[in-house]
Amino acid sequence: MYPRFIPALFLALLIFTAGAAHQAHAFPGTNAGAPAYRAANPVPDTPNVTVTLLPEKTDLKGGETVTVGIRQKIRKGWHTYWVNPGDSGTETRASWSGVGGIGGLKADAIQWPVPKRMPIGPLMNFGYENEVVLLQDITLPKKLPAGPQTITADFEILVCQEICIPESHTASFTINDGSEAHRQAVDQARGKLPLDMGWQTEIAEENGTLIVSTKTDMPSAFTKLRSIELYPEEWGMIANPEQSAAALKNNVLAITHKRGDRDLAEIPVAKLVIAYEDASGARKAIRVSALNKLAAPNAGASAEQKDIGFSKALLLAFLGGLILNLMPCVFPVLSMKAMSLVELKDKEAAKARLHGIVYTLGILVSFALVAGLLLILKAGGAQIGWGFQLQHPAVILFLAYLFLLLGLNLAGFFEIDFGLSNAGQSLARQQGVAGTFFTGVLATIVATPCTAPFMAAAMGFALTQSAAVAMSVFLALGFGLAFPYLALSFVPALQRSLPRPGAWMETFRQFLAFLMFIAVGWLIAVLAEQVGFIQLFYAQLGLVAVAFGIWLFKHLPSRRKWRFAVIILALLSFLFAISNFFTEAAPQGRAISGEPLAVESPVLEGEPFTRARLNALLKGDDPVFVNMTAAWCITCKVNEKVALETRRVRGAFDEYGVRYLKGDWTNQNPEITNFLEEYGRSGVPIYVYYGPRNAMSGARPAPVILPQILTAGIVADSIAQQPQ
């Protein structure tokens, strides 16, 4: 469907991307062994902690999930650690195995009761003393042999007084043998978990202080503000030994704490436990997840995603603009414009330069308008990003009409001076300066459906910066778009390298018409994703009506009476086409439907993305792959075809049990816009891979952002790299 140079272009870009991949360093030779240093393993004589497993149920079927309490009895004066141990220490780690033919046991992450602050000199630890019951959900394999089965877990527990001892423990329990269940103990332990309230929470940093603000629907709970303690699940967010300060205003609880020394940008989503005493003095805690607006786009570890600086963003935007010239929608405009220089005579050089400058201005002014509108809407709180123009079907339809008109014009169906129809004429007789300016505007309009590679990173950067910086990046993009023609108009040597004028120019012009018709086909396919069947039908009738109206005007009868009637008919025809703009359903009218995109292969169907679904999947153990796409995004579609829907990727998804979530940003969707922003993007595509939960630690590795230009290899490799 696309000219051959597009895959070739992508290939070239991949080489750039691959070159930036970073290397891991490992110290060589540590495995060589050094017998001279060997000493006894530090295994203590008597354990400082004992572990007992407390299953909530013991009468279980295959595939059933059971909550198991992990009770630690800790020697007096000693302590074990919370998931974030504070300044030193390590959290308890569990690894489960079945005995007697039960394989494939699945363990969810450990659920941690509210910890205590334990100061040790100038350091602060978070953990437990005396006794604690951690909870973990275990799912049995589907095929469970009949009769009693023993389920065993190995624990690595660091237990410290002032000194620390890492202890290994093994504990087990038996199911289906009538042994006692521990429902009450598990219920009691549940009561000590922080309550996940799902309250909207934001974190910010000001002058070395971390500010957590949570919208609470029970402000009366926080009457004892001095009792409030903040426990981030991530290390290094706060200076652990410092105290939190809290204040309540209306329904916003604001907690401040001296920030830790970690770069907060590393933490895209911060999970926080807030402990407090209620009015009766009982200790309680809630758990919230805060979107980190400070998180940089490189939250993952993608080579392409390093926090790009201002100058690099400008360069990428400029390159993106240059590449836009080759896109099927823009290429004909540029070509026709360039053709007008072919017959140039030397004395007209000054005039050529003038046209080059005016064309550039036309592009820059229209980019400034679009970008300005985007920035104003964003400042007003709208959840939009680059490409927002295309989220309204009326805009898509308008572009379809426009491309049809351009195509008909190029094909010679009618002649209107669009600034495209003067190939073969001398520059002296060519359109005026205003026409050239309009060509620049037109180039910008037709460029909008094409997102060039490099653009996304630059746009994503731009939209997180000040308006001035953002505007500079957008203008750099426009300048890139204008540059080829500008260069051509300024350098006579380049003009001379153009082919000599001749009859071929008319043929070439007609050929370019087909590129325009391809673009129309594309836009109609996009429209099909946005509107209903009938509206789509009207839209296509509208295309016919546009052409019909023009045809009528071309064949006006000479008799006055008939002439008048035909003009009315032609105008009605245009009116019908225009009326479609107003009958297109508002994009919100059709929520993101679960039905797969038309171009999608039947095999790799993602579930539709919602934040709730993602959170639910992340609570589980399976790896998760998120693909944010839109029908109007060409890069997305190409990636889906050449990478995601290949046998290799499907195989990898199957083999590693990857859950696939697909977000469709064809129409506006604030949830997806939020997700994009979380990863520092302002537009699609984005591919994020969340590795599987580590069976030992119960933790997930940091999510990985894949490059914007995918190959099957890139996707399969990032899935196969199972973090240990």
Q: Binding of other proteins at residue 76 (CB under 8 A)?
A: no
Cβ closest to other proteins, residue 165 vs residue 370: 165
Q: Which of 4, 15, 19, 33 binds other proteins (CB under 8 A)?
A: 33
Q: Which of 50, 52, 90, 425 binds other proteins (CB under 8 A)?
A: 90
Q: How many CB atoms lie within 10 A of CB 559?
A: 10
End-to-end CA distance of the chain: 43
- Mask of contacts with other proteins, 217-256, x by CB under 8 A? ------------------xx--x--xx-x-x-x--x-x-x
Taking CB under 8 A as the criterion, the residue among 55, 69, 89, 435 binding other proteins is 89
Nearer to other proteins, 150 or 243 (CB): 243
Residue 564's contacts (CB-CB under 8 Å, 6 or more residues apart) are none
- Helix 455-463 × helix 467-490 angle, to 10°: 140
CB of 92 to other proteins, least distance (A): 13
* Nearer to other proteins among residue 57 and residue 262 (C-beta): 262
Interface with other proteins: number of residues (CB under 8 A): 56
Q: Give the list of residues 6+ apart from residue 64 with CB closer than 8 angstroms, or none.
A: 139, 140
Residue 76 or 249: the one with the smaller Cβ distance to other proteins is 249
Q: Is residue 379 at the binding interface for other proteins, with CB under 8 A as the rule?
A: no
Considering the rule CB under 8 A, would residue 381 count as an interface residue with other proteins? no
Helix spans in 119-240 (H): 183-190
Applying CB under 8 A, which of residues 25, 429, 560, 647 lies at the interface with other proteins?
Answer: 25
Length of the chain: 724
568 makes contact with other proteins (CB under 8 A)? no
Which positions from 137 to 176 touch other proteins by CB under 8 A, shown as an x/- string? -------------------x-x-x-xxxxx----------
Closest contact distance (angstroms) between CB of 122 and other proteins is 6
Please tell me whether the peptide bond between 685 and the residue prior to it is cis, using omega within 30 degrees of 0. yes
| 216 contacts other proteins (rule: CB under 8 A) | no
Residues 696-715 that bind other proteins (CB under 8 A): none
Closest distance between other proteins and the C-beta of residue 40, in Å?
A: 8
Part of the chain binding other proteins (CB under 8 A), chosen from 32-40, 286-294, 353-361, 453-461: 32-40
Cβ proximity to other proteins, 213 vs 448, nearer residue? 213
Provide the minimum distance between the beta carbon of 119 and other proteins in the complex, in angstroms, as a whole number.
10
Binding segment (CB under 8 A) for other proteins, from list 27-35, 55-63, 320-328, 655-663: 27-35
Burial 513-531 (b: 16+ CB within 10 A, else e): bebbbbbbebbbbbbbbbb
CA dihedral (159, 160, 161, 162) in degrees, to 10, reads 170
Minimum distance from CB of 153 to other proteins (Å)? 17
Q: Which is nearer to other proteins, 90 or 425 (CB)?
A: 90
Q: CA–CA separation, 540 vs 192, rounded Å?
A: 62
Among residues 285, 118, 294, the alpha carbon closest in space to that of 211 is found at: 294
Convert residues 117-136 into a mask of x (bound to other proteins by CB under 8 A) and - (unbound).
---xxxx-x-----------
Out of 87, 233, 277, 304, which residue is the one contacting other proteins (CB under 8 A)? 87
Q: How many helices (H) and strands (E) does the chain have?
A: 18, 23
Distance CA 473, CA 495 (A): 29
From candidates 34, 379, 493, 503, binder to other proteins by CB under 8 A: 34
Among 4, 15, 19, 30, binds other proteins (CB under 8 A): 30
Please identify, using beta-carbon distances, which residue of 45 and 261 lies nearer to other proteins.
261
Q: Contacts with other proteins in 253-312 (CB under 8 A)?
A: 254, 256-258, 261-263
The nearest distance, CB 722 to other proteins, in angstroms, is 13
Q: At what angle do helices 670-678 and 611-619 cross, to 10 degrees?
A: 50
Residue type, 217: D
Q: Which of 281, 236, 292, 286 is nearest to 263 (CA)?
A: 236
Alpha helices in 276-392 (DSSP H): 310-324, 331-339, 349-379
Pairwise CA distance, residues 709 & 635, whole Å: 7
Tokens 């679960």 appear where? Answer: 594
Which one-letter DSSP state was computed for residue 259? B
- What is the rounded distance in angstroms from the CA atom of residue 630 to the CA atom of residue 645? 16
Closest CB 278 distance from other proteins, rounded Å: 22
Identify any residues that bridge with 209 across adjacent strands, giving them in sequence order. Answer: 206, 258
Cα atoms found within 13 Å of the Cα of residue 713, Cβ hemisphere only = 3
Widest CA span in the chain: 114
State the minimum distance, in angstroms, from the CB of residue 673 to other proteins: 21
Q: How far is the CB of 165 from other proteins (least distance, A)?
A: 7
Q: Which of 27, 76, 497, 647: binder of other proteins (CB under 8 A)?
A: 27
CB environment 608-639: b (16+ within 10 A), e (fewer): bbeeeebeebbebbebbbbbbbbbbbbbbbbb
Q: Nearest distance from residue 164's CB to other proteins, in Å? A: 4
CA atoms within 13 A on the CB side of 236: 7
Shortest Cβ distance from residue 695 to other proteins (Å)?
14
Site string for other proteins, 171-210 (x = CB under 8 A): ---------------------------------x-xxxx-
| Residue entry with tokens 């005039």 | 351
Residues at the contact surface with other proteins, assessed by CB under 8 A: 22, 24-27, 29-31, 33-34, 36-39, 42, 87-90, 120-123, 125, 156, 158, 160, 162-166, 204, 206-209, 211, 213, 235-236, 239, 242-243, 245, 247, 249, 252, 254, 256-258, 261-263, 724
